[in-house]
Amino acid sequence: MADTKSWFRGLRLAWVIAFLVSIVLLLALQNPLFMCHPNWELFLRELAFALLLASIFGSTVELVQRREFIRLVTEERDELKRDVFLYAYGFNLPDQIREEIRSKVLNTNFYRRDLTLDWEFSLPHEDGLVRVKKHYAYTLINNNDDPASWPFRFVQIGADEPKGAMQSTFHSLRVRRSSGKIDEFKLEAENQGGPHQRAFQTSINMAGHEEVWINYEITHVRRIAGDDNYSSRDMIVGLTRIKLRFPRNSRFEASASCKQKSLIQAPDGDPPYLYSFELTEGMFPHQAVVIGWSKIDGGKEEQRDNSN
């Protein structure tokens, strides 16, 4: 990209010089000296007009054509890179799987790094439910040269407990730029798909290759024993941390898994009050981290969080 810009600057300079030389020649031809040399006058006049026309054409029409040509070549090169990857590593995959990889992985502009899920459970209330204050944080990267708008969307689903969705509270969404500026959003819930589902959404504008820190908190109502998923529309890389905090005067068991494998427990855990897990593998879009907790004589409730 830098070489292309440098080449365009050199080309524009050449057209400017040609334009100035043509003007100088046309002015010089007004000198009576050239009346004694009509052949030279004709040659230089034709040369001046040729330079003038070439500079005008080159700085307008041809420049636009060259830029369009370079854009098309760049797009075809990027597409070829993706196809080469698929043909090299996915030649034996079904077409539907190859298309899924192309659309969900190779053509995506955003990914997340170093995801942290930090959940704090309250003591059980008289209604047999607990309040869970959930804190999410990660770095979001725009992996593209061009500015883009990233759609933030958090969906909470309560499968068989309407209170789990209807009593959810979205506290705040904070976006910290590399300059240190922090944008804060207050989001209102949108009911989708009946009383069991609510969504919180907005959009965030990002520059090319910009990295921002995403941080948001939400409180949910859960049963004493239940399961919960977290899945992302974007790819996730780096270290994923899950921390589940329970009151000191309670006894809960908790587990976390991903890709049908139990996550390793981190050394900073202190069961049964703090369960800490880590995942060092990357995750494809919509691969979920599954979290489960239980207490004696607790029922089961299936819940799902989708940060789409």
CA-based Rg of the chain, rounded to a whole angstrom? 31
3-state SS class at 303:
strand
Which pair of structure tokens corresponds to residue 97? 């799987």
- Taking 60 as the threshold, does the pLDDT of residue 2 lie above it? no
Buried b (16+ CB within 10 A) or exposed e, 214-238: bbbbbebbbbbbbbbebbbbbbbbe
DSSP string, 163-226: HHHHT-EEEEEEEE-TTS-EEEE----EE-SSTTEEEEEEEEEE-TT-EEEEEEEEEEEEESSE
- Beta carbons of 170 and 218 less than 8 angstroms apart: yes
Highest mean pLDDT among 16-20, 115-119, 128-132, 197-201 belongs to 115-119
How far apart are alpha carbons 260 and 63 in whole angstroms? 56
Which pair of structure tokens corresponds to residue 206? 């990002």
- Taking 60 as the threshold, does the pLDDT of residue 299 lie above it? no
pLDDT bin (cut points 50, 70, 90) of residue 111 is very high
Q: Tell me what the pLDDT averaged over the chain comes to.
A: 81
Strands across the sheet with 261-262, in order? 190-191, 197-206, 148-158, 303-307, 226-232, 288-294, 253-258, 261-262
pLDDT digit string, tens, across residues 226-240:
888 899 999 999 999
The pLDDT value recorded for residue 58 is: 67
pLDDT digit string, tens, across residues 195-205:
667 788 899 99
Indicate the helix (H) or strand (E) that contains 120. Answer: strand 110-121
- Beta carbons of 226 and 303 less than 8 angstroms apart: yes
Q: What's phi and psi for 60, nearest 5 deg? A: -120, -85
Within the chain, what is the greatest distance between any pair of CA atoms?
Answer: 115
| Torsion sign over Cα 185, 191, 193, 197 | positive
How far apart are alpha carbons 132 and 122 in whole angstroms? 6
pLDDT bin (cut points 50, 70, 90) of residue 55 is confident
CA 106 to chain centre: 13
3-state SS class at 143:
coil
End-to-end CA distance of the chain: 32
Threshold 0.75, pTM exceeds: no
- Beta carbons of 59 and 11 less than 8 angstroms apart: no
- Taking 80 as the threshold, does the pLDDT of residue 289 lie above it? yes
pLDDT bin (cut points 50, 70, 90) of residue 222 is confident
